[in-house]
Amino acid sequence: MSHATSASSSTHETARLYRMQTDEHLCPFGLKTLDLLQRKGYRVEDHTLDSREAIEAFKEEAGVDTTPQVYIGETRVGGYEEVREYLGMRVPGEQETSYQPVIAIFVTALLIGLAVSWTADGTLVSGRMPEYAVATAMALLGLQKLQDVESFSTMFLNYDLLAQRHVRYGYVYPFAETLAGVLMLAGALIWLAAPLALFIGTVGAVSVFKAVYLDKRELKCACVGGNSNVPLGFVSLTENLVMIGMGLWMPLKSLIL
């Protein structure tokens, strides 16, 4: 029915893992469960179910509907999510607010800005590097929204004042933000990019300020798409203020320089 191997441990008890590993399918949650148990110091008896017959026989014998299944001592813990819960870890899919998506985008945008600065200007920190980074962030944030415009527009309606009056604005916004970012990154058609950034940034800043600081509402931000758990607040307001700054700076720079 299975093949058994052991992963070394020092002080923890033994865990028995039953997971699917056939020629047609290698269960990813089985591997993740094995890795998790090993990292937590358990000695794992890894039983791989290598045929459909073995899988069905195990499920019937154990009285379960799915694999992987983990036993610690004589107690059946369950699958990957149950093991995480048993170990006191966050279960994937839990609806916790997090700034991680925004941080990832901003850090990536900064690195791309540095790379573009190096390629275009011959130095990592050129005068245009902040422009490159901000324009890239705008394009990346727009891309996140474009992955599911319908979901974004639904979440956006919770707080954007213009979208609440004109629903179609929620569908236009992702395209406008992405276009403004790409044009600013290229330094092209600033007469179009700057007003776009200034307009959507101003409306966004007013909407976020009203929802968060005046109405005291606890909402999720649609800045990284319609399925995010990023809280609406200071980061969202800063994003819009930066767009306002870019919308003002880009045409002003062409007059000064």
- pLDDT of 94: 52
Q: φ and ψ at 141, to 5 degrees?
A: -65, -40
Give the position of tokens 């394009």. 139
Is beta strand 43-49 parallel, antiparallel or unpaired with respect to 14-20?
A: parallel
In the chain the first and final C-alpha atoms are separated, in Å, by: 76
Residues of the chain short of pLDDT 50, as ranges, are: 4-10
CB atoms within 10 A of CB 200: 23
pLDDT digits (tens, 9 = 90+) for 130-186: 999 999 999 999 998 998 899 888 888 888 999 989 999 999 999 999 999 999 999
- pLDDT of 139: 94
Q: φ and ψ at 48, to 5 degrees?
A: -95, 125
Q: Which residues of 162-191 are buried (b: 16+ CB within 10 A; e: fewer)?
A: bbeeeeebbeebbebbbbbbbbbbebeebe
Quick one: tokens of 223?
Answer: 């800045």
- pLDDT of 175: 95
Alpha carbon distance 72, 142 (integer Å): 46
Alpha carbon distance 88, 164 (integer Å): 42
- pLDDT of 103: 86
The DSSP line for 24-49 is: S-B-HHHHHHHHHHHHTTPEEEEEEE
- pLDDT of 10: 39
- pLDDT of 97: 67
- pLDDT of 237: 87
